[in-house]
Amino acid sequence: MANDKKSIFSPVTAFKNLVKKPETVRYPAESNDAAKRYRGFHINDLEECIGCSTCQEVCVNDAISMVEMLDVPAEEGQRNERPQIDYGRCCWCGLCVDVCTTGSLEMSRDYSYIDLDPDTFIVTPAENDINQVEHPLGYLRDQSSDLLDLKRIEMEMLEPEERIDSFIEIVEGFSKEQAEKEASRCVECEICTETCPANMNIPQYIRGIFDDDLEESLQQIYEDNPLPEVCGRVCTHKCEGVCALSHRGEAISIRWLKRYAVDNVDSAEYKQVLGTEKIEQNNKKVAVVGAGPAGLSAAHYLSVMGYQITVYESKEKAGGMMRYGIPEYRLPYDALDKDIDYIESLGVNFVFNTRVGEDIELKELHENYDAVFAATGLHNGRSTRVPGTENNNVYQAVNLLADIARGKEVPVTKRLVVIGGGNVAMDIARSMARIQKDKYGEVDITVTSLETEDIMPADQEEIDEAREEGIVFKPGRGPKEIEINEDGSLAHLCTNCCVSVFDEDMNFNPTYDNSDIENYECDMVIEAIGQGGDNSYIDDQFEIEYAGPRIKINDYSQTSVNWLFAGGDIARGPDVINAIKTGHDAAVGIDKYLNDSLK
């Protein structure tokens, strides 16, 4: 029978126990090894970590924060931030390890920690507990499954034997299902945004695709890029090269997702979606010289600000090298025109077949406009100037590409050699392959370049696709001479081995092994070794500062002549997305200049 009697001292005993320090550690202490997959304190490889903050985003208890580490260099595709753990909040669930994009974060089997001061629960990446690997490893990510989707949706393309017969666009684009699945892979770390020359809101427009809100995607895209149909096809997509997922898997198809978003919004809806149905005018006028990507970008953003814009273009249509340099199988004209037509609908006035410096002087533009933006691009081909280049069967790639774009008949022979290793060389080689196949029924084109394939400036996908289309590559060779037959026809291109392209200071200074000679038989040679510009329309009238071969500009694309702004190839080099950025910068700069906040 239970004894229900209570001692009169029970309350006192209970009170005594309330203030007594509990004993929670076995005494004397006994060693107890943790299980192999025990979730103890974190270990982070500081060199492998890229500071993407995915671990912070997934933490349900807000136990992880990112802290700046000044002694860690912020290289491209990385931040100099590393995770800090608050073990007062951490529940050791391991989700941070599961979603780590590089695999740098793990958990140890070290778990012994007792302290009465809660501030000591916060462990910074500078302390030993989170960046040392001598602790025995505990919980690791399950290799048989992954919370991240590491494989990208494969883009459907025309097969080589089908695409070589025409200039039809070879990339077919994502379906709705494919785009939403690809968008779901994004961890929204924004490292891509920091790497993009235009700093586009990439995670935001990808989120719009995932949410099936393409209007939101379009709004996010146009914040920084008014040529999304173009960039959705031919952007150099450096952002994908730093995608956090690329460290353990395949990068997100950022470029193709941009294309999906803009392809699937009707241009008739653009003004309503982008809020440009009615723009308040400010009665100030700006002239833009050149209708390439930089000029179009500046024209777009300035017109949205209310400026009256007139674009002077020497050719018969807008687009610059996007129209006259990039083949239609990469950038269809209807896609390019969709971007341009919207810009024109904002009230931008185009004056075609008008060359500034010949048909109208820059001084006259200065007198008639409040500011001028120069973006004339690089349209003049450069020659190797080796013996034989003066022959009539030696051509410049940029001239041939422009003629192809205009629908003109271009010369083509049975055996053809292209000199160059950049995207222009790929464009002309692949274009001529199509024309050659149509005329002769086969492709016989050799591309030779100073650079070996691993350092060729052309996009790897362009090289791979060219090879699939039957084009032969001879990299690491320098042109020595074009041998001419007695009747004036070409015999072959003589090359020697290029030992190095750059000197120890990374200046262009090729060296050759003249004992290593190879000849490539040909009837026609095309040079594609770079382009130059013609700035005489500026230099003849105004003294302007240069930074090397390019016009010197500040952060707002302003030159040393305060009313004159410059961008694109003549100021930043040949790249569509960089040109768009300088055009946007110029629009902001011109607005500041005309409102007296920039001198």
Mean of pLDDT values over 294-305 = 98
What is the pLDDT at residue 547? 92
Mean of pLDDT values over 364-375 = 98
Cα angle 263-269-271, degrees, rounded to a multiple of 5: 115
Q: Are 498 and 568 found together in one domain? A: no
Q: Which residue has the higher pLDDT, 7 or 140?
A: 140
Which domain-ending residue is among 499, 531, 563?
531
Q: Are 344 and 485 found together in one domain? A: no
What is the pLDDT at residue 73? 78
Alpha helices in 381-459 (DSSP H): 397-405, 423-440
Burial class (CB in 10 A: 0-12, 13-18, 19+), 28: exposed
Q: Say whether pLDDT at 9 is over 50.
A: no
Q: Are 167 and 226 found together in one domain? A: yes
In a domain, 5, yes or no: no
Indicate the range of 76-80, 181-185, 419-423 predicted with least confidence: 76-80
Q: What range defines the domain where residue 440 resides?
A: 380-531
Residue 186's pLDDT band, with cuts at 50, 70 and 90, is very high
Q: What is the pLDDT of residues 233-272, one digit of tens each?
A: 999 999 999 999 999 999 999 999 999 999 999 999 999 9
Q: Are 401 and 517 found together in one domain? A: yes
- Residue 332: both structure tokens together: 């269809």
Residue 437 φ then ψ, to 5°:
-65, -40
Quote the mean pLDDT of the chain: 91
Q: Say whether pLDDT at 22 is over 70.
A: no
Q: What is the pLDDT of residues 546-593, one digit of tens each?
A: 998 899 999 999 999 999 999 999 998 778 999 999 999 999 999 999
Q: Are 375 and 403 found together in one domain? A: no
CA distances from 309 to 123, 225, 315, 535 (A): 56, 18, 18, 22
CATH number at residue 576: 3.50.50.60
Residue 19's pLDDT band, with cuts at 50, 70 and 90, is low
At residue 469, the 3 state secondary structure works out as coil
The dihedral sign for the CA sequence 486, 489, 491, 497: positive
Q: What share of the chain is helix, strand, coil (3-state, %, to 5)?
A: 35, 20, 50
In a domain, 537, yes or no: no
CATH number at residue 106: 3.30.70.3270
In a domain, 254, yes or no: yes
Of the chain, the percentage scoring pLDDT greater than 90 comes to: 79
CA distances from 138 to 35, 94, 302, 462, 511 (A): 8, 11, 58, 45, 53
Q: Are 268 and 283 found together in one domain? A: no
Q: Are 324 and 463 found together in one domain? A: no
Which domain-ending residue is among 239, 272, 305?
272
Q: Are 249 and 183 found together in one domain? A: yes
In a domain, 228, yes or no: yes
Which domain-ending residue is among 272, 293, 320?
272
* Structural domain total, the chain: 4
Q: Are 373 and 384 found together in one domain? A: no
Distance of CA 301 to the CA centre of its chain: 21
Q: What is the C-alpha to C-alpha distance for residues 257 and 251, in angstroms, rounded to an integer?
A: 12
In a domain, 415, yes or no: yes
In a domain, 59, yes or no: yes
Residue 128's pLDDT band, with cuts at 50, 70 and 90, is low
Contact of 527 with 381, CB cutoff 8 Å? yes
In a domain, 155, yes or no: no
- Residue 138: both structure tokens together: 């505990």
Q: Which residue has the higher pLDDT, 117 or 270?
A: 270
Residue matched to tokens 């949410």: 211
Q: Are 402 and 480 found together in one domain? A: yes
CA distances from 305 to 280, 286, 298, 591 (A): 8, 12, 11, 8
Q: Are 371 and 389 found together in one domain? A: no
Q: Are 359 and 432 found together in one domain? A: no
3-state secondary structure 126-195: CCHHHHCCCCCECCCCCCCCCCCCCCCCCCCECCHHHHCCCCCCCECCCCHHHHHHHHCCCCCCCHHHHH
Q: 356 - beta bridge partners? A: 360
Q: What is the pTM of this model?
A: 0.90
CA distances from 431 to 135, 323, 479, 514 (A): 59, 14, 22, 32
In a domain, 8, yes or no: no
Q: Which residue from 329, 348, 438, 420 is spatially nearest to 381, judged by alpha carbons? A: 420
Mean of pLDDT values over 298-306 = 98
CATH number at residue 267: 1.10.1060.10
